[in-house]
Structure 1
Amino acid sequence: MGRIEDYALLGDLQTAALVSSEGSVDWLCLPRFDSPACFAALLDDPGAGRWKLAPGGAGPCTSRHYVEDSLVLETEWETDEGTVRVIDFMPPREHAPDIVRIVEGVSGSVQMYGELTLRFDYGKVRPWVHHDDDQILAVAGPDAVRLRTPAPTRGHEWSTVSEFTVHAGDRVPFVLTWSPSYQRRPDPVDAEQALQDTLGYWHGWAERGHDLTGPYRDAIKRSLLTLKALTYQPTGGIVAAATTSLPEQVGGSRNWDYRYCWLRDATYTLQALIAGGYLDEANAWREWLLRAVAGDPADLQIMYSLDGTRRLSESELDWLRGYEDSAPVRVGNAAAGQLQLDVWGETLDGLALARESGLAATEDAWDLQVLLMEHLESVWNDKDNGLWEVRGPRRHFTHSKVMAWVAADRMAKAVRRHHSLHGPADRWEALRDTIHADVLAHGFDADRNTFVQSYGETALDASLLIIPRVGFLCGDDPRMLGTIDAINRELTQDGLVLRYQNSASDDGLPGDEGVFLACSFWMVDALHLAGRQEDAIQLFDRLLALRNDVGLLSEEWDPTQQRQLGNTPQAFSHFALVTSGLQLHAGRGHGSHEPIWHPGIPGEVPR
């Protein structure tokens, strides 16, 4: 396995694959993001499943890049015998999921080596493999995978090996297709036509968004493409990341499954997509949300599965040793049962954003919002677990109270602005004022001139940086300036922002973690809103330099080892990049009395 930053992303809007810089597909779950992996070498060794295709004996590639605004990856090796290119992609799915790999001879003659090791159920199950007419068929229980290629193949030690020479001008296709083993085999895919169709799809999608220019155009567009790749097209759900159990500390045990739809992450992703000009995704997400949270508002969960399933039982896969021996490998996520009051605010904020961005309001959507708000009115002053899913005692987290304020603010403004939407605006405005006063009285340390993580405590928290982003205070308010200074002084490592002052008592697990990349983007926003434009740009440029060679970010960064950590690619990191980049590009926010991601929602910011 390589470093986390050695991987590029392929996707078909229903699942995703990770391809290393050595040409090996080391992670793939079929048929969905959250299905068991058939390639799990990322979390163990090649015996857990992978698909390598590279020059024989070669190491990392010479170069690689995505073709323009697409998820078509081109990887090149320059060898003594010549240059070869491997084109990797997953066609947006129609019926069955496919991975297509085309080996292209660029110059000279290069000896290629392919090794396909399929292992179903996260590396545990070896399939029965045999030739089926012009295909190689691997079957185990409900899973069937077919490989079609004109290249020679042979079986070797429970793998399918291919050795061939590619000359300048040659193009040798490999098409891997999954289907249920009990159904007829899917129609064959023409690799070259699929390439053109895939390029056409992604280029068309990219062009639908706003026409971006300037120095951050490519970084913003690549992040938007990555966020789109993390959407599950059949339902509109958005996964937090494509992987499970990539560690927050190498060798540690903070390894979680992120292949689910957190309401918070999905809402922030929605903000980034809408800011980029993509309203269709907003509509699909709203429909997913209405289905997922239907029922008693008291039963709102912080996360759901791709189709809205609520039960996400957590278990450990003890046959996998974990990424760089970072055990355990977990599937499912027990945090689904936590109480995180900020989620009500983020959900209502996301629905307000969709409405103000031109998405037509529906009666069902508004009825749901009213029910959510009415429930929040009765519980906003309870203790909760906070947005970082701390697995210790519940507390009065300042961020949770601020997001409750956001909920009341957005709901009251909706009634005032839209005559077709009905609700007790006076009551919600009174609640908004009550929460605002409560946060200032209990969540702010006047002696240190900074907001604090939770009431009655002195610890800091990076989530405090979003206070001006949501319109709770102006960015140049002295209390926010003090908070920025305190976080820079006490909650940074090598100039990058930690989530909070971590201790083992927070989740019962030993060890530390890297800096949380989204938090440093929040610092960019806070600096921008405070009028410190030069500092904001300097930090943003530094964060861009932490992306890998194809523009991807994981969850965290290790300043000591200078490497990415955590699940990848991480929606939280990429939507933060988009919103920060668009702010700096457009110069929005500083001096404004409105939330930076809510176009056209005026209103004075409380002082």
Structure 2
Amino acid sequence: THSEFTLDEGERVAFVLTWHPSHERRPRLVDPYEALESSVADWRRWARHCRYDGPHRDAVVRSLITLKALTYAPTGGIVAAPTTSLPERLGGVRNWDYRYCWLRDSTLALGALLTAGYQEEAEAWRNWLLRAVAGNPAALQIMYGVAGERRLPEAELPWLPGFAGSSPVRTGNGAVEQLQLDVYGEVMDSLSLARSAGLPTRPHMWSIQRALMDFLASAWRQPDQGLWEVRGGRRHFVHSKVMVWVAADRAVRTLEQHQETSGDLAGWRRLREEVHREVCEKGYDPERNTFTQSYGSRELDAALLLIPRVGFLPPDDPRVIGTVDAIRADLGHDGFLRRYDSEEDDDSVVDGLPGGEGAFLACSFWLVDALHLTGRPKEARELFERLVRVANDVGLLAEEYDPGADRQLGNFPQAFSHLGLVNSALTLFGTEEAG
């Protein structure tokens, strides 16, 4: 159906698009103008709950609204982005389907929602997480559908040209079948954070965590595909091992602080110590004073900026400061940050894909946090100001940014980027100016 009509200045026409299953009654008709006013009032009421009152509050609220809008209300699942196959480089092949819920977002999302004052949304996300990870820990996936769907087969749609000729267009995501050990750490960290924040515990929550730890204790020595879901073969990624340490650390802390829990305290302490020792021996380059992307490699990885944030080493440790400086020097992109070196002429590229990509916005926010934690607040604030200005006219951020062309790249809007903005604002200003 199509129609042609003309509007004069000041006139407006409303369209109401509805959908319903054929076996159910048609939804009631709504007055679109009343519905719009009601929706705006509801969002303003929701935004007033935000406890953050520091600089760039509008950007923080806009990011929180975006996270809320990316949430599937019936289950509480938060999708990474509502789009598929928007390219990480125009004309390139790094085009992925992000319309799913990643376990990796769990800790960042919970922390942002809880600190900003949105306990209901945090609890809904925690409950989705528990439903997703229940079952056999060996079968844990890194992502699920919004309703917990497990089968997300990747397929290419050759009849679609792609945005700006960037093909292929994909549906589904093959990374769902990868082993990524870091997600066990993210899940354990999230559930530990939820417990510490006073969210009501759920039946079987601790039994799920114990099962995850039992699996991880026997599986952590395996190489994996890592945080960045590389398609170029498994490695012993340092970030993955750090997050194994996080899982053991949070399990130990839970046992020490909550008498109603039980588990292998001595074994998990040994695991925590062994992983820490191995990472510091095999994942650290003493000649350059930096941790590396994987054991024995020379490549760097922006995910290593999270080492002080998760508590693996204190921010003032010389190895942490050296890692931050090395990453800035090696992965800097006009003041922003790439996640790792992905340029075509680099023989060391680990992701198995041709073509490069833009600066990764979430990683750039991690650099903000790392600079602040390592005693460089002025530099941290300057970078944060630049990142806030990357957002478009309605405050939305994509996955990546091309500083040279001044354009955003990748799926849009991106939860990971908005989580980075919120958490960096809370890191920089939260203790000083948040209510």
Give me the TM-score of the superposition, normalised by structure 2: 0.95
Query: Residue 204 in 1 paired to residue 48 in 2?
Result: no
**Matches for 1:382-393 after TM superposition, within 5 Å:** 382-393=222-233
Per-residue deviation, 1:200: 2.7
SS in 2 for 1:557: strand
Counterpart AA for 2:19? W
> Aligned to 1:185, which of 26, 36, 42?
26
1:395 to 213, 235, 242: 235
Contact 1:242-1:259 within 8 A present in 2 as well: yes
- What is the one-letter code of the residue matched to 2:319? R
Match of residue 341 from structure 2: 501
Q: Would the aligned equivalents of 2:230 and 2:352 in 1 still touch at CA under 8 Å?
A: no
Larger Rg: 1
1:309 Cα shift?
A: 1.1
What is the alpha-carbon distance in structure 1 between the residues aligned to residue 210 and residue 262 of structure 2?
Answer: 9
Q: Which of 381, 401, 407 pairs up with 2:247?
A: 407
SS at match of 2:275: helix
Instruction: Give CA-to-partner distance per residue, 1:460-515, whole Å, 9 cap, x none.
Output: 00000000000111112111111111111111111111111125663443211001
Q: Distance in 2 between matches of 1:373 and 1:231?
A: 28
The structure whose residues are more often helix, as a share, is 2
Q: Aligned partners of 1:196 and 1:325: how far apart in 2?
A: 39
1:446 to 267, 286, 299: 286
> Secondary structure of the residue that 1:336 maps to in structure 2?
helix
User: 2:7 aligns to what SS in structure 1?
Assistant: strand
| Alignment match of 1:471 (pick from 307, 311, 314) | 311
**Is the contact made by 1:340 and 1:387 (CA closer than 8 Å) also made in structure 2?**
yes
* Secondary structure at the counterpart of residue 4 of structure 2: strand
Matching residue of 1:48: none
Q: 1:216 aligned to 56, 71, 81, which one?
A: 56
**What one-letter code is carried by the residue in structure 1 that aligns with 2:282?**
H
TM-score (normalizing by structure 1):
0.69
1:356 equivalent in structure 2: 196
**Offset at 1:167?**
5.2
Runs of 4+ aligned residues of structure 1 deviating over 6 Å after TM superposition are none
Q: Counterparts of 2:25 and 2:57 in 1: how far apart (Å)?
A: 45
Against the structure 1 CA distance between its residues 486 and 507, is the aligned structure 2 distance closer, same or farther, given a 3 Å change threshold?
Answer: closer
In structure 2, what is the Cα distance between the partners aligned to 1:213 and 1:184? 45
C-alpha separation in 2, matches of 1:218 and 1:540: 14
Q: Write out per-residue CA displacement over residues 35-60 of structure 1, whole angstroms, 9 at most, x where no aligned residue.
A: xxxxxxxxxxxxxxxxxxxxxxxxxx
1:556 to 375, 382, 400: 400
1:161 corresponds in structure 2 to: 3
The one-letter amino acid of 2:356's match is D
Equivalent residue number for residue 17 of structure 2: 176
Instruction: Supply the distance in 2 between the matched residues of 1:507 and 1:253 (Cα, whole angstroms).
Output: 12
2:109·2:122 contact (CA, 8 Å) conserved in 1?
Answer: no
| Structure with greater strand percent | 1
Offset at residue 183 of structure 1 (A): 4.3
Deviation track 1:291-335 (CA, whole Å, cap 9, x = no partner) reads 222211110010111111111001111221000000111000010
2:124 paired with 1:288: no
Are the aligned partners of 1:528 and 1:536 in contact in 2 as well (CA < 8 Å)?
yes
Which runs of 5 or more residues in structure 2 are unaligned? none
CA distance in 1, matches of 2:135, 2:161: 40
- 8 Å CA contact retained: 1:240, 1:266: no
Q: Is 1:585 paired with 2:426?
A: no
Q: Does 1:239 align with 2:79?
A: yes
SS at match of 1:227: helix
Q: Does the Cα contact within 8 Å between 1:237 and 1:266 map onto a contact in 2?
A: no
Give identity over the alignment, percent: 57
Which one of the candidate residues 144, 163, 169 is aligned to 1:329?
Answer: 169
